[in-house]
C-alpha cells in the first residue's frame, strides 16, 4: 500500500518546501503531491508532526558501531549490528570499513558484505577497504606490519563483482600506475589517503582515475606555500570528492571553512570514521591489543593518537551548521546527496524525488533524528 508522509518540511532539490506529501510505494518515492491529490487521500498517512524530512544519510567510512568493530569480526552479523547502531542517527546507507589487514581478512570482509547485500541487510551499500596499500609515514592508527604494494592477486580480489560498491583508500605514491589503472577499469572507486604523496604525484593520480580523498587533512601531506601537497591538489581539483570528519577534533573549524570555500560545490561530503562506541554505552574498545577510549568526544590511543571517531552523521550535520557555519540544507546534502554521487549512486539515492529510494531521516527542530526510514520501512523511531 502507498504511504503518504504528510505535514512535514521536505528537503528537495529546490530547497526546503512545505505543504507537500511524499508518496512511497514498494520502497521507492513515487512523487510529491498536494494533500488534495487523490493519491494522498487513498494512501496510508504518516504524520511527520511538522518535522523536517531529509534524504537519508550516507556514510562512506564506518569502522564500527554498536560496540563492534568490523576488523574484529567481518561477518554479516557485525554489519547488521553496525547498521542498526548508525540508523539511530539517520544513516540509511553505509560502507563497512576495514582498516589495513591481511589478504585473508580482506577476502572475508568482502564476502561478508556481499552476503549482507544479498540478504538485504538494511543500509549496506558496499565495502570500504582503507588500506593496506598506504604509506608508513602517514599510517595513523593503522598497523604498518599489514602494509604492502598491491599485486595481481589483490587486483583480482578487489575486482570481483558483487551487489555493492567497492571503495579503496590507497597511497598513490605506493601504487604502480598500471595497478591504479586496472583497479579503476574494474569498477573500484579509488580514494587517496594515508599518503605522503607530493602535489605532482597526486595530480597524476587524479588524472589516472583517483576519485576522492579520505578524511581530508588527516594522514596526508599538508598545503604549504611551495608544496601544495595532497591537500592542495584535492582542493584545486574540480572533479573529485573530499571526505570531512567534522567532530571538532580531527580538523579545526577554520580549516574546514577554508576548505569548503575553496573546493568546488557539491564535492565535499561528511564521513564519520566511526568506531564501536557510536550507538553503544561502552566508551572503550580494543584495537590491535590496545584499549582505546573516548575522552571528551575524541577517540585516542594511550599515546594520544586519534583512532577514528565517536561521531555519528546527525552530529556531523549539526557540527557543520553550528561549528563551521554551513547552511543547514547544504550540510544535509553533504551527508546524503554528495556521498551518493561520489559512490555512483546519484540516480537512485540521496534525493527526495520521484524514482529515488525511500531513505529518509526525520529530524526535529534541534536537528536530532526522530525517525529513520530505509527502503520505505521505518527502522528507527
* Distance (Å, whole) CA 150 – CA 157: 11
CA distances from 133 to 107, 129, 191 (A): 15, 10, 11
Residue 152 annotated in ligand binding: no
User: Which residue, among 366, 266, 276, 303, has the nearest Cα to 141 in the 3D structure?
Assistant: 303
306 is in an annotated binding site: yes
Residues 275 and 264: beta-carbon distance below 8 Å:
no
Q: Is residue 130 marked as binding?
A: yes
Distance CA 190, CA 167 (A): 6
The residues near 300 (Cβ < 8 Å, ≥ 6 apart) are 292, 293, 306, 307
250 annotated binding-site participant: yes
Q: Report the candidate in 273, 256, 269, 271 with the shortest Cα–Cα distance to residue 341.
A: 269
Contact between 86 and 372 under an 8 Å Cβ cutoff? The reply is: no
141 is in an annotated binding site: yes
Residues forming the active site: 273
- 186 known member of a binding site: no
Is the peptide bond preceding residue 45 cis, with omega within 30 degrees of 0?
A: no
218 is in an annotated binding site: yes
CA angle 88, 92, 94 (to 5 degrees): 105
Cβ neighbours of 178 (radius 10 Å): 10
The CA distance from 244 to 216, in Å, is: 6
R_g of the chain computed on alpha carbons: 20
- Report whether 180 contacts 204 (CB < 8 A): no
- Distance between CA atoms of 130 and 192, rounded to whole angstroms? 10
Q: Is 219 annotated as a binding residue?
A: yes
Return binding residues for Zn(2+): 130, 194, 215
Return binding residues for substrate: 141, 218-219, 226, 250, 306-308
Return binding residues: 130, 141, 194, 215, 218-219, 226, 250, 306-308
Amino acid at each position: 500500500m502507498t504511504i503518504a508522509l504528510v505535514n512535514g518540511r521536505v528537503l528537495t532539490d529546490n530547497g526546503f518546501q512545505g505543504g507537500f506529501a511524499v508518496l512511497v510505494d514498494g520502497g521507492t518515492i513515487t512523487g510529491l503531491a498536494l494533500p488534495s491529490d487523490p493519491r494522498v487521500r487513498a494512501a496510508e498517512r504518516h504524520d511527520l508532526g511538522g518535522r523536517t524530512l531529509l534524504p537519508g544519510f550516507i556514510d562512506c567510512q564506518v569502522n564500527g558501531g554498536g560496540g563492534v568493530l568490523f576488523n574484529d569480526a567481518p561477518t554479516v552479523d557485525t554489519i547488521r549490528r553496525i547498521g542498526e547502531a548508525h540508523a539511530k542517527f539517520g544513516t540509511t546507507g553505509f560502507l563497512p570499513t576495514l582498516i589495513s589487514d591481511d589478504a585473508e581478512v580482506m577476502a572475508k570482509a568482502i564476502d561478508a558484505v556481499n552476503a549482507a547485500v544479498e540478504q538485504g541487510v538494511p543500509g549496506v551499500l558496499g565495502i570500504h577497504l582503507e588500506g593496506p596499500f598506504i604509506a608508513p609515514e602517514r599510517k595513523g592508527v593503522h598497523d604498518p606490519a599489514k602494509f604492502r604494494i598491491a599485486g595481481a592477486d589483490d587486483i583480482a580480489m578487489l575486482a570481483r563483482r558483487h551487489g555493492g560498491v567497492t571503495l579503496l583508500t590507497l597511497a598513490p605514491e605506493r601504487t604502480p600506475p598500471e595497478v591504479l589503472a586496472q583497479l579503476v577499469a574494474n569498477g573500484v572507486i579509488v580514494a587517496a589517503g594515508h599518503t605522503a604523496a607530493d602535489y605532482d604525484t597526486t595530480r597524476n593520480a587524479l588524472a589516472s582515475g583517483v576519485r576522492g580523498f579520505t578524511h581530508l587533512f588527516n594522514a596526508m601531506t599538508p598545503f604549504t606555500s611551495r608544496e601544495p601537497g595532497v591537500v592542495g591538489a584535492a582542493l584545486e581539483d574540480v572533479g573529485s570528492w573530499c571526505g570531512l570528519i567534522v567532530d571538532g577534533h580531527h580538523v579545526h573549524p577554520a580549516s574546514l571553512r577554508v576548505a569548503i570555500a575553496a573546493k568546488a560545490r557539491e564535492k565535499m561530503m561528511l564521513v564519520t570514521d566511526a568506531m564501536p562506541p557510536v550507538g553503544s554505552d561502552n566508551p572503550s574498545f580494543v584495537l590491535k591489543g590496545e584499549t582505546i577510549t573516548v575522552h571528551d568526544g575524541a577517540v585516542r590511543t594511550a599515546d594520544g593518537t586519534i583512532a577514528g571517531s565517536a561521531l555519528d552523521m546527525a552530529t556531523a550535520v549539526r557540527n557543520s551548521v553550528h561549528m563551521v557555519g554551513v547552511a543547514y540544507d547544504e550540510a544535509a546534502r553533504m551527508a546524503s546527496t554528495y556521498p551518493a554521487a561520489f559512490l555512483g549512486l546519484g540516480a537512485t539515492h540521496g534525493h527526495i524525488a520521484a524514482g529515488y529510494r525511500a531513505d529518509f531521516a526525520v529530524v526535529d527542530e534541534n536537528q536530532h533524528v526522530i525517525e529513520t526510514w530505509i527502503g520505505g520501512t521505518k527502522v528507527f523511531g
